[in-house]
């Protein structure tokens, strides 16, 4: 593999931003990914923020993994590394496309741009395509868009997409409005309402193996919708112009190649365990891990010759009966954990390590590595950014290791006392503002360790601390 400096690749970056959540930016993003891929372009997708569902949809639309970019969880030089690592996948991308989060200027802080789509666009020199919901608007649409464009300096806005245009008359009015009030801002297109392209539930997401073929029809409809409403040739021509700024280089460079594996790490991957940052896996490979993917739903044994186990999050609650019925796998996971080899589990993976999982369908036995039971609730039990400082040595590094991640789950621990008695609390957790978040009875924010097994509800992004992946690989090697 050729040596790559750790800065953003030369292909242009288009940032699809929105005026607010629900304005249609995900639909526009998926339509663009599919339409451009159908034209023969190689598009590398990214998602702003800690989301797992949208990247799964991106991957289906673009045919390559989508990577998360989050300027709160990761420092700028780590974001440049992320862009470079994602672009290593052959063939090299012709275009990078980043779907924003919430509204353009919304992020981790109400007082600054930290963690916002706008901050990412400036850091990575991306050109913004602003999606605005203009339902029942005419002249007000120009005022709305101008406010977003002018709110903070330094944004390079390639154009605006007017979504939910109601009729030919509405289209004509909007064209006249923007020609009169925003002549310097290109209207990349106008999109009408279309009930045939509705996306899956945000909570339930998409279960890739079962629904990928059916969702392909929706993706093609989205691509047709975008092709009809946007002038893609003009948009691509604007993106082909030289970048306005010279991007800063990272202080380090990516290794010339991935080293020969020194350990074999089993990673759960199926419909029940599908939430993992692509960068976490790539950083583990760069640290010397050979990744062996397996399905706790469908397989009876762990992969052969493994030195460690990684259980990501996902939807164990939707597959609790099948996970419970796979007694052989539950027994294998329990035996592996008791062998002293490292096990790292996040959110859904942590729930799988408990004794039981209770859903509306009943109470189901899990792997029983940790005592206690998780129960699904009707509302989320925890939501937000988290900074973790370990209070003891763990598979992720020595005591005092700091890292960042995100927490979002509907389940909670019915009674944490058995877990607290059997496994030590090893996380000191603060929120996005630095305020300590004490472990709650619901299990929110806890980080429990029993032997060499570490489990928590927090999804940690390994880009937040470059020592995490090497530490986990080293722990596997020692075992």
pLDDT tens digits along 417-457: 889 888 989 999 999 999 998 776 666 678 999 999 999 99
Q: What is the DSSP letter of 414?
A: S
Burial class of residue 281, CB neighbours in 10 A (0-12, 13-18, 19+): buried
Same fold for the domain at 13-239 and the one at 263-478?
A: yes
Catalytic residues: 347
CA 373 to chain centroid, in Å, comes to 27
- Residue 443 belongs to what H/E stretch? none
Chain length of the chain: 479
Contact between residue 70 and residue 95 where contact means Cβ atoms under 8 Å apart: no
Angle at 406 between CA 404 and CA 410, to 5 degrees: 155
DSSP of 231-299? -HHHHHHHHTSPPSSPPPPPSSB--SSPPPPSEEEEEE-BTTB-B--HHHHHHHHHTTEEEEEE-TTT-
Say if residue 371's pLDDT is above 50. yes
Q: Round the average pLDDT of the chain to a whole number and report it.
A: 91
Tell me the pLDDT band of 398, cut-offs 50, 70 and 90: very high
Say if residue 461's pLDDT is above 90. yes
Please report the pLDDT score of residue 6 as a whole number: 42
SS3 at position 135: coil
Please report the pLDDT score of residue 297 as a whole number: 98
Contact between residue 413 and residue 442 where contact means Cβ atoms under 8 Å apart: yes
Contact between residue 475 and residue 343 where contact means Cβ atoms under 8 Å apart: no
The CATH code of domain 13-239 reads 3.40.50.300
Q: What is the pLDDT of residues 100-109, one digit of tens each?
A: 999 999 999 8
Please report the pLDDT score of residue 354 as a whole number: 97
> Helices 25-38 and 232-239 sit at what angle, rounded to 10 degrees?
90
Please report the pLDDT score of residue 415 as a whole number: 85
Say if residue 3's pLDDT is above 60. no
Q: Highest mean pLDDT: which of 140-144, 212-216, 431-435?
A: 140-144
Say if residue 244's pLDDT is above 60. no
Q: What is the pLDDT of residues 322-345, one digit of tens each?
A: 999 999 999 999 999 999 999 999
The CA distances from residue 189 to 132, 137, 330, 412, in Å, are 11, 16, 52, 45
Residue boundaries of the structural domains of the chain: 13-239, 263-478
- Residue 20 belongs to what H/E stretch? none
DSSP of 37-102? HHTT--EEEEEESS-SHHHHHHHHHHSS--EEE-TTTS-HHHHHHHHHHHHTSSSPPSEEEEE--S
Please report the pLDDT score of residue 48 as a whole number: 98
Q: What is the pLDDT of residues 281-307, one digit of tens each?
A: 999 999 999 999 999 999 999 999 999
Tell me the pLDDT band of 248, cut-offs 50, 70 and 90: very low
Tokens of 79: 């974001």
Contact between residue 6 and residue 249 where contact means Cβ atoms under 8 Å apart: yes
* Helix, strand, coil percentages in the chain from 3-state DSSP, rounded to 5: 35, 25, 40
Contact between residue 46 and residue 96 where contact means Cβ atoms under 8 Å apart: yes
Strand locations in 303-368, DSSP E? 308-311, 343-346, 356-359, 362-365
- Spell out the residues 6+ positions from residue 327 whose beta carbon is closer than 8 angstroms to its own: none
The CATH code of domain 263-478 reads 3.40.50.880
Q: What is the pLDDT of residues 28-49, one digit of tens each?
A: 999 999 999 999 999 999 999 9
The CA distances from residue 171 to 136, 229, 424, in Å, are 11, 11, 62
Sign of CA dihedral 331, 332, 338, 344: negative
Q: What is the pLDDT of residues 355-368, one digit of tens each?
A: 999 999 999 999 99
Tokens of 151: 């709110």
Contact between residue 272 and residue 296 where contact means Cβ atoms under 8 Å apart: yes
Q: Which of 312-326, 396-410, 420-434 has the lowest mean pLDDT?
A: 420-434
Placement of tokens 């992946």 in the chain: 469
Distance from C-alpha of 41 to C-alpha of 246, rounded to nearest angstrom: 25
Please report the pLDDT score of residue 215 as a whole number: 85
Burial class of residue 140, CB neighbours in 10 A (0-12, 13-18, 19+): exposed
Sign of CA dihedral 274, 275, 279, 285: negative
Placement of tokens 């490292």 in the chain: 342
Please report the pLDDT score of residue 253 as a whole number: 47
Say if residue 267's pLDDT is above 70. yes
Sign of CA dihedral 84, 90, 93, 94: positive
Q: Which of 58-72, 332-346, 372-386 has the lowest mean pLDDT?
A: 372-386
Contact between residue 115 and residue 1 where contact means Cβ atoms under 8 Å apart: no
């Amino acid at each position: 593999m050729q040596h790559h400096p750790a800065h953003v690749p030369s292909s242009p970056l288009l940032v699809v931003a929105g005026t607010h959540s629900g304005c249609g930016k995900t639909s526009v993003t998926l339509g663009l990914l599919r339409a451009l891929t159908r034209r023969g372009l190689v598009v590398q997708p990214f998602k702003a923020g800690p989301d797992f569902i949208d990247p799964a949809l991106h991957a289906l639309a673009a045919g390559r993994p989508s990577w998360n970019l989050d300027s709160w969880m990761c420092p700028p030089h780590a974001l440049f590394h992320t862009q470079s690592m994602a672009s290593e996948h052959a063939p090299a991308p012709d275009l990078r496309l980043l779907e924003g989060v919430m509204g353009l200027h919304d992020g981790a802080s109400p007082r600054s741009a930290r963690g916002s789509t706008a901050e990412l666009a400036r850091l990575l020199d991306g050109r913004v395509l602003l999606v605005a919901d203009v339902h029942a608007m005419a002249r007000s649409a120009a005022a709305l868009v101008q406010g977003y464009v002018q709110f903070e300096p330094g944004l390079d806005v390639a154009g605006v997409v007017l979504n939910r245009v109601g009729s030919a008359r509405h289209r004509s009015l909007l064209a006249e409005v923007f020609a009169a009030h925003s002549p310097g801002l290109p209207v990349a297109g106008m999109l009408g309402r279309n009930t045939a392209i509705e996306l899956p539930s945000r909570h339930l997401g998409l279960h890739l193996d079962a629904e990928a073929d059916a969702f392909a029809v929706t993706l093609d409809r989205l691509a047709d919708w975008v092709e009809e409403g946007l002038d893609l040739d003009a948009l691509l021509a604007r993106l082909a112009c030289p970048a306005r700024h010279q991007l800063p280089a990272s202080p380090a460079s990516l290794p010339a190649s991935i080293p020969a594996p020194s350990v074999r790490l089993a990673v759960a991957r199926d419909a029940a365990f599908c939430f993992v940052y692509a960068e976490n896996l790539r950083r583990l490979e760069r640290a010397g891990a050979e990744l062996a993917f397996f399905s706790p739903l469908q397989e009876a044994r762990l992969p052969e010759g493994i030195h460690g186990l990684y259980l990501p999050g996902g939807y164990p609650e939707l597959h609790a009966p099948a996970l419970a019925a796979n007694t052989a796998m539950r027994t294998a996971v329990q035996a592996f954990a008791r062998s002293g080899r490292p096990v790292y589990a996040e959110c859904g993976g942590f729930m799988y390590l408990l004794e039981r999982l209770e859903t509306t369908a009943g109470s189901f036995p899990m792997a029983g590595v940790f005592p206690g039971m998780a129960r699904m609730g009707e509302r989320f039990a925890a939501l937000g950014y988290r900074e973790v400082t370990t209070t003891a040595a763990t598979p992720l590094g020595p005591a005092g290791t700091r890292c960042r991640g995100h927490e979002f789950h509907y389940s909670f621990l019915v009674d944490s006392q058995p877990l607290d008695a059997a496994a030590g609390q090893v996380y000191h957790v603060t929120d996005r503002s630095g305020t300590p978040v004490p472990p709650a009875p619901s299990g929110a924010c806890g980080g429990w360790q029993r032997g060499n097994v570490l489990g928590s509800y927090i999804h940690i992004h390994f880009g937040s601390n470059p020592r995490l992946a090497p530490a986990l690989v080293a722990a596997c090697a020692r075992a």
